[in-house]
Amino acid sequence: MGKIIIKTEEEIEIVRQNGLILANAIALVAQNIKSGVSGLFLDKLAEQFIRDNGATPSFKGYHKFPASLCISINEDVVHGIPHAVALKPGDLISIDAGVFKNNFHADSAYTFALVGASEAVQHLMKVTKESLYKGIEQAIAGNRIGDIGEAVQNYCERKNPYKCVRELVGHGLGKSLHEDPQVPNYGKAGKGDVLPENCVIAIEPMVNLGRKDVYTKNDNWTIATQDHKPSAHFEHTLCVRKSSADILTTFEPIEAALKNNSELIFV
């Protein structure tokens, strides 16, 4: 494994400030997710908001990714490219985004469901979001990467009939969008790198309604479930502390916007 970079308090606060810009950008997207709206429209809204706040979208141009948001719909797990096809009732929409400002990144994701989504899909979303916080509970100094992975995996796979994706993981971040350590959503407690105080990581459960297996679509970006069943994705950026993790991104403005959008289901 590579070197885990410890952040100063000033750097951690920059990430937190970027996390608020990011949350408000995703909240703006949440206000505008409706049947008939395209991913391209949502992507332009988010990019303009991020740039208006003196930041740049972390994803746009990253390894030549063409957009500011990853918009992954239904069986698409992550890295979906926004396109012109209109959203329709019952769609499951994962929005993943990053903000870069003052030399640091923040990264977050939230999954939305348009009215008409099945109860099974709604429950998948609920469990995936809850599993994120189970992982965050383990992100304390002296614990190991495997403690996070086992907490997420156990919650999704032992108590519920879902599967955590294995090929895609959370990660450290800071001046680079992806730093060490890798943070899988599966594993064994007590295994893996020790989490040092003041390291910054993104935990991001990607959880499938069916099997864990995924494949890459022909656009060379979009990762989808092999059985074509839906997948949900939630992500926070956080700082590892001595007694409990310090979450640097927030879902509060996102969920306020979600609750005020009559076309979305809040779980």
Q: What's the Cα-to-Cα distance from 250 to each of 132, 174, 254, 256, rounded to whole Å?
A: 13, 17, 8, 11
- Is the confidence at residue 1, as pLDDT, over 70? no
Helices (H), the chain: 9-32, 39-52, 119-137, 145-153, 252-259
Query: How far apart (Å, rounded) are the C-alpha atoms in residues 235 and 31?
Result: 19
Q: Is residue 131 part of a domain?
A: yes
Residues 96/69, Cβ–Cβ less than 8 Å: yes
Q: Is residue 70 part of a domain?
A: yes
Q: Is residue 145 part of a domain?
A: yes
The answer, as to whether pTM is greater than 0.75, is: yes
For position 114, what pLDDT does the model report?
98
Q: Is residue 114 part of a domain?
A: yes
**Residue 241: domain span:** 9-265
Name the E strands within 35-91: 56-57, 69-73, 76-78
What would the pLDDT profile of 201-233 be if each residue is shown by its tens digit?
999 999 999 999 999 999 999 999 999 999 999
What would the pLDDT profile of 36-89 be if each residue is shown by its tens digit?
999 999 999 999 999 999 999 999 999 999 999 999 999 999 999 999 999 999
User: What is the tally of structural domains in the chain?
Assistant: 1
- Is the confidence at residue 131, as pLDDT, over 80? yes
Q: Is residue 3 part of a domain?
A: no
Can you tell me the mean pLDDT for 162-170?
Answer: 97
Q: Is residue 1 part of a domain?
A: no
Q: Is residue 88 part of a domain?
A: yes
For position 252, what pLDDT does the model report?
98
- Length of the chain as a residue count: 267
CATH of the domain at 124: 3.90.230.10
Residues with Cβ within 8 Å of residue 213, at least 6 apart in sequence: 225, 226, 227
For position 104, what pLDDT does the model report?
98
- Is the confidence at residue 2, as pLDDT, over 80? no
Percent of the chain topping pLDDT 90: 98
Residues with Cβ within 8 Å of residue 217, at least 6 apart in sequence: 76, 223, 224
What strand order describes the sheet that includes 231-233? 163-164, 206-208, 231-233
Average pLDDT, the chain: 97
Q: Please state whether the peptide bond connecting residue 181 to the residue before it is cis, i.e. omega within 30 degrees of 0.
A: yes
Q: Is residue 2 part of a domain?
A: no
Dihedral (Cα; 221, 223, 227, 231), 10-degree rounding:
-140
For position 201, what pLDDT does the model report?
98
